[in-house]
Amino acid sequence: MHLIEQPGGSARVELQKSPTGIQGLDEITLGGLPRGRTTLVVGKAGSGKTLLGMEFLVRGALEFGEPGVFFSFEETAGDLTQNVASLGYDLNDLRERNLLSIDHVEVSRSDIVETGEYDLEALFIRLGYAIDSVGAQRVVLDTIESLFSGFADTAILRAELRRLFFWLKERGVTAVVTGESGEATMTRHGLEEYISDCVILLDHRVDEQISTRRLRVVKYRGSVHGTNEYPFLIDENGISVLPITSAGLTHTVSRDRISSGVDRLDAMLEGEGFYRGSTIMIAGTPGTGKTSFGASFGDAACLRGEKCLYFAFEESPDQIVRNMQSIGIDLAPHITAGLLEIHASRPTMYGLEMHLVLMLKQIQERQPDVVVIDPLTDLISIGTSRDVKVMLTRLVDFLKTDGITVLFTYLAHTREAVAPSDFVVSSLIDTLIQLQDIESAGERNRGLYVLKSRGMGHSNQIREYRITDGGIELANIYAGPAGMFFGTSRFVQEAKEEAEREAREEEIAYQQRELERKRSVMEARIAALRNEFASHEEQVRRLIKAEGARQDAVKADTRAIRKLRKADEPGESMIRSTGSTGEEQ
Amino acid sequence: MADEREQERRSAAEKFEQALEGRADTRYILRLYVAGMTPRSQRAIENVKAICETHLSGRYDLEVIDVYQQPERAGEAQVVAAPTLIKQLPLPLQRLIGDMSDKDRVLVGLGIQKKE
């Protein structure tokens, strides 16, 4: 039944398991408690042993159709029924439906006289009778130690306990036996842990007045199991264990981008904002508006119709809503619409792990798209840096696996300490935005820059931002040859630049007009010269013309004279030579 | 069943008064729970019978219950160990476990002999 012999001779372990139905425990044990075997649950008083046992039975009956028997050595059936009623378990109903049998076994040494050999057969018979009466497949014995207080002969008891465990196995029931933890040994009598197939240790530790419940699977024969200590909590839903192991770095990532809620900040991140499922940190000194950034981010998510879970460690939900209203971010409608949920708790209320457990529980229940943790610093203050790193790694891995985008705010107390290089979790952060006070010219202004943003190009500028009635606004950049200016100096500088520019423009216009004027003067002169030249030319022409006429007249006169004198040719040729010269010019 | 118990209770009250008076004729109501007819069970039965005959002759009722046969009665009487002898009356109620081989302890447990 439990071991399947493979033909090859190698035994393949195939252990059947009974799911407990307890959130997280089945994950740690990879399926539940060993079916048909005995599990020992050890812990000090108040560590939640009885509840674990009872939840195992109730859930077994309700969720897995396996009736159960609860043998209580400490509390009466009435007390038990009352105690778990607050968790919403109606034991009377289960008993009426024959899904549960509760028996109170009273053992008190005061009225017992031992007169010789005995065994606990009567207990076995009662147990067997109860099992048969409801057809139980699950049995809880709570707390086995009580037997030791009832009987003086521990040798007999030890033998009988051993027999009881074998007997339970023979009956084929899945049993949970609870035991008090001892000082040096795991159990007070150092016996049960050896004869159980599975041992679960419950611990309730108080460090610096803060209590944390932890659970550890000490052994599990024939099965692998998570070996870490896992924090667990007991609330109105019973026990939840959070198996927050490091999920590793195998998660797939999204290429989707989501807005930071501040337009011009998105512009600094390739114009598209953060990657979905990434881890963002807004770090800054007090009063730099970290919460405003967180709220803007949450607001943007809700406006997209996504669910946002906001964990506040400094302010109450009401206070956040009111304060954000003053900067034009109205969170109230998102809360009404069920998109936004603000959980506020004081960091000192629980231990670090408890906070983590509570957060993870909320996240699991609400399945949000984005998570804001404001601020992370307060959580860090309650743990050592190693604890914090471990916790945050778990949280970040968990969120990344589910593709949830998370924004942490981080309060740096001094400006020097803002440098995140020494900050324990900076390696877990994908996008780190630094908010800074910039003091100059008697003013304090706010500047932000993207210190890193994995997987995307991002602006390297320090941008001034203002928190206005309309949310966070990034101002225009003044980055000139004289360096960067913020606040009033930026205005002054901008005004000065403007004046200078205007002056220069005027000068150019003036020069242009001057040039125009000079051009017209020049052209007027050119016209005058042209006129002068023309008149001169006219004069010259007139002279030439007059000369031509005179020579023609002379030629005609000569010819006439020759005709009269009847002179011969040579005289004519002489005249032509002179005349032709004058005519041609 | 209920009537029987009621009667028992009434007679118990009477007997309680008798016990207070310390009469030698105080009636003993004893129940011996055994788990099957094992040698140990038989030893216990024999031992109890012998003691009763010797010290309580004629003024005791002994009921032997095999819890295998009547497991619900083991529950009612809060019996865990076997054998268990319960001195129902006279009060106070007393439980004796074991095979009753330690006669002195049985006698003290039953209030027949004072603790030395």
From first CA to last CA, the distance across chain A in angstroms is 140
Evaluate the CA torsion angle A108, A113, A119, A123 in order and state its sign. negative
Evaluate the CA torsion angle A207, A211, A212, A216 in order and state its sign. positive
Q: Where are the domains of chain B?
A: 2-109
Mean pLDDT of the A64-68 span: 88
User: What pLDDT shows up at residue A531?
Assistant: 94
Q: Which fold has domain A14-241?
A: Rossmann fold (3.40.50)
Residues 6+ apart with CB under 8 A from A205: A211, A212, A214
CA angle B41, B45, B47 (to 5 degrees): 115
User: What pLDDT shows up at residue A186?
Assistant: 73
Partners of A147 on chain B (C-beta within 8 Å) are 80
User: What pLDDT shows up at residue A249?
Assistant: 59
To the nearest whole angstrom, how far is the Cα of A344 from the nearest Cα of chain B? 50
Picking from A431, A305, A314, the residue whose alpha carbon sits closest to that of residue A379 is: A314
Architecture (CATH level 2) of domain A257-477? 3-Layer(aba) Sandwich (3.40)
Question: Is the model's pLDDT at A321 over the cut of 60?
Answer: yes
Q: Which residue has the higher pLDDT, B56 or A295?
A: A295
Evaluate the CA torsion angle A65, A69, A74, A77 in order and state its sign. positive
- When mean pLDDT is compared over A245-259, A376-390, A398-412, B5-19, the highest value belongs to A398-412
Picking from B90, B104, B81, the residue whose alpha carbon sits closest to that of residue B33 is: B81
pLDDT digits (tens, 9 = 90+) for A107-142: 876 778 788 888 888 888 888 888 888 888 899 988
The Cα A287–Cα A265 span in angstroms is 19
**CB interface of B with A, residues 74-113, below 8 Å:** 74-75, 78-85, 92-102, 105-106, 108-109
Q: Which amino acid is present at A505?
A: E
Picking from A58, A50, A34, the residue whose alpha carbon sits closest to that of residue A83 is: A50
CA A175 to chain centre: 42
pLDDT digits (tens, 9 = 90+) for A176-213: 988 888 776 677 776 777 778 888 888 887 766 667 78
To the nearest whole angstrom, how far is the Cα of B59 from the nearest Cα of chain A? 22
Q: ipTM of this complex > 0.85?
A: no
Share of chain A above pLDDT 90, in %: 10
User: What pLDDT shows up at residue A581?
Assistant: 47
Evaluate the CA torsion angle B55, B57, B58, B60 in order and state its sign. positive
Residues 6+ apart with CB under 8 A from A246: A393, A394, A397
Partners of B83 on chain A (C-beta within 8 Å) are 118
User: What pLDDT shows up at residue A507?
Assistant: 92
Partners of A126 on chain B (C-beta within 8 Å) are 67, 71, 74-75, 79-80
Question: Is the model's pLDDT at B100 over the cut of 60?
Answer: yes
Partners of B105 on chain A (C-beta within 8 Å) are 113-115
The Cα B99–Cα A107 span in angstroms is 19
State the residue for tokens 């360096």. A483
- For the entire predicted model, the pTM comes to 0.62
To the nearest whole angstrom, how far is the Cα of B3 from the nearest Cα of chain A? 25
Question: Is the model's pLDDT at A164 over the cut of 60?
Answer: yes
Picking from A334, A294, A335, A336, the residue whose alpha carbon sits closest to that of residue A314 is: A294
- When mean pLDDT is compared over A66-70, A161-165, A408-412, A521-525, the highest value belongs to A521-525
Contact A118 B75 (CB under 8 A): no
Average pLDDT over all residues of chain B: 78
CA A236 to chain centre: 28
Q: Where are the domains of chain A?
A: 14-241, 257-477, 491-584
Residues A424 and A376: beta-carbon distance below 8 Å: no
Task: Name the DSSP class of A470.
Answer: T
Residues A91 and A79: beta-carbon distance below 8 Å: no
Task: Name the DSSP class of A103.
Answer: E
Whether the CB of B45 is below 8 Å from some CB of chain A: the reply is no
State the residue for tokens 């006169």. A557
* Facing residue for A115 by CB, picked from B35, B36, B101: B101
Best of B52, B70, B80, B95 to substitute, by most chain A Cβ atoms within 10 angstroms, is B80
**Domain A14-241 shares a fold with domain A257-477:** yes
Token pair listed for A125 = 């018979």
Q: Which fold has domain B2-109?
A: Glutaredoxin (3.40.30)
Partners of B36 on chain A (C-beta within 8 Å) are 121
A110: part of which helix (H) or strand (E)? none
Average pLDDT over all residues of chain A: 81
pLDDT digits (tens, 9 = 90+) for A342-381: 888 887 777 777 777 788 888 888 889 999 988 887 777 6
Contact B96 A120 (CB under 8 A): no
Residues 6+ apart with CB under 8 A from A458: A268, A269, A270, A450
How many contacts, defined by CB atoms under 8 Å, are there between A and B? 103
